[in-house]
Structures are given as structure tokens and as C-alpha cells.
Chains A and B, each alone.
Chain A
């Protein structure tokens, strides 16, 4: 019998620290599939965030750099400017990219840095124990919004992708999801485009991936993907934004 499905070579074949049903594992894998398909593993430099994916580099078989919380795009800018022939990407969560690193995100995008950003939006802080994220939905309960997010107190879910799409330096932004196999394939296609843009020197490209956090949503993994479809995607509509 022949193996007809293989894990990508760029992915280190080990068990991850992620919770059951967490979307990080899926996105880690499809990034590696794209890197293998584009044959850029020897050129890739990844920048890992602070958050649940802080040790994403333990699962990736290529060069990686750590960044302080929110500074991934600043670190990536430093790398790419001195090594323009390398392919540099950041992998960031909603807190990293849209809260503590909001300034770095907006300015790297606005400078049109020729970088690829994979933005994992799960509407919550996982690593620190389920606190409110900038992308937490209204009425969604978290450790720091025990009565549900209230617009009067905590503002609204931040649509950072729509915001970045206004900037002239941005080449490509798409919002995708990991709630089903089909959605995962669409995400992979978008990630491939975001890397191809960098190879072609087109400028800043970002894919916002909606991803489940069953643990801190308080849902079973199968209910978490259902919630994504029925609630989260309505707040964060999928598709190409720029």
C-alpha cells in the first residue's frame, strides 16, 4: 500500500502542546505544506509570537526568531531589510497583532514591508487563561469579561484586517477559517498567495485565520467549529478584503 497523505517535510513530526481541537496545529501544518510546495524551506525565516504559539518553532524545521509580545513585525522588518533574499513571515495571535503590537502591525503594513503575516484570530487569550482579546465578540464571556463583552466598557471587536486594508502599503489581505476541511483548503490557498506575493516582491500580505479555542470558549471541539460557523464568521466575514 502506498501512503497518499504525507505530513509536510518542514513540519517536525512530534505531538504539539496545543489543546484538543485547537486550530494552531492545522495552521502550522498548512504553512509547512505551502513552504514545501513553493520550495522555500531553505530561505524561510519565521518569527514566533508571544501567546499559545510562543514555541511554534518547536514544530517547524526551519530558521526562526523569537519576538517580544507584539513586536513580531518589527523583528521581521529588521530581518527582511538586511536579508531581502530570504522569505520572512510572522505568526501572530489576536493579542500580539491587534492589541499590544497594534502599532508595529499598522506601521509595518503601512511601510509596505515585503513580509507575510499569518494572523490567528480566536477571539480570546489562550496562553494566559482565557482573557478578553481585541477581537472578542460582544457578549462573549471571558476571564476578564465575566458578564460578557460590553461595548460600553470594552469597545467592539477590532476588525484589524479591514483597518489595514485601507493602507496603501498593503498588497493582500484575506480572512479565512479552519472550521471545516473545505475552509482549511481555502486557508491554505490564501497562505500560498501571501507567500507568493513576497516572492514576487509585492509588499505586505496578511491572512487572518479564524481558529477555534475550544478550551477557553468552554466548548467541545465539535461544538467550537459549529460556533465559529454560526456566530464568529457572522462578525468576521470571510473572503478577500484587499
Chain B
């Protein structure tokens, strides 16, 4: 099966706003959120969205305590 990632929802995590709590990571039903290797200015390892089969469920945005998640389609 070939996915067309271009038409799928995309999550953008504001890496400077992110406090690295990882709640979005554990609740993403598709496992599309991972820890960034580089630290942000707070010295925290922020979360990052990796392109994939996002279904636009918005769980990441709903659970984010810091308003750091934006979702585009």
C-alpha cells in the first residue's frame, strides 16, 4: 500500500514552547511523535512529529499542557 503523505494531516510542534513531557508521544495512536535529538533553548529535549500516516485525531493537541501543537491539513 502506498500512502500519499502530502494529503495527510501534519502536526507541527513548537519546539521552543515544548517542555518535553511526552504526553503527546504516549497518546499518538499512530506512533508518529518522537523525541528530538537536539535540545531546545530551555535545555529540554522537545518532541517532534515525523511524517507518517496521521489520521488527524488531534490527541496530541488535546493532551498538550503547553499549547505547543499545531495541526495542518
Contacts and interface: CB of A to CB of B under 8 A. Distances in A.
Direct contact of A and B (CB under 8 A): yes
Interface of A: 1-5, 7, 11, 13, 15-16, 18-26, 29, 178, 180-181, 184-185, 214, 220-222, 225
Contact of A15 (B63, B66, B71): B66
A20 B56 contact: no
A20 B27 contact: no
Given A5-B58, A180-B27, A185-B62, A21 B67 contact: no
Sorting the interface of chain B by its residue count into under 10, 10 to 19, 20 to 34 or 35 or more gives 20 to 34
Interface in B1-50: 9-10, 16-17, 19-23, 25-27, 44
Nearest to A220: B22
A25 B66 contact: yes
B27 to A, nearest CB: 5
Contacts of B69: 5
Contacts of A25: 64-67
A13 to B, nearest CB: 7
Interface of B: 9-10, 16-17, 19-23, 25-27, 44, 56-59, 61-67, 69-73
A26 B65 CA distance: 4
Contacts of A214: 21
Contacts of A185: 62
A19 B9 CA distance: 29
A23 B66 contact: no
B71 A20 contact: no
Contacts of B44: 20
Nearest to A185: B62
A3 B71 contact: yes
29 contacts: A3-B70, A4-B58, A5-B70, A5-B71, A7-B67, A11-B67, A15-B17, A15-B66, A19-B19, A20-B19, A20-B21, A20-B44, A21-B21, A21-B22, A21-B23, A23-B65, A25-B66, A26-B63, A26-B64, A180-B27, A181-B27, A181-B58, A181-B63, A184-B62, A185-B62, A220-B22, A221-B23, A222-B25, A222-B26
Given A16-B65, A19-B19, A222-B26, 5 more contacts: A2-B72, A11-B67, A15-B66, A25-B64, A222-B21
B70 A222 contact: no
B31 to A, nearest CB: 14
A1 B8 CA distance: 10
Nearest to A13: B67
A58 to B, nearest CB: 13
Contacts of A16: 65-66
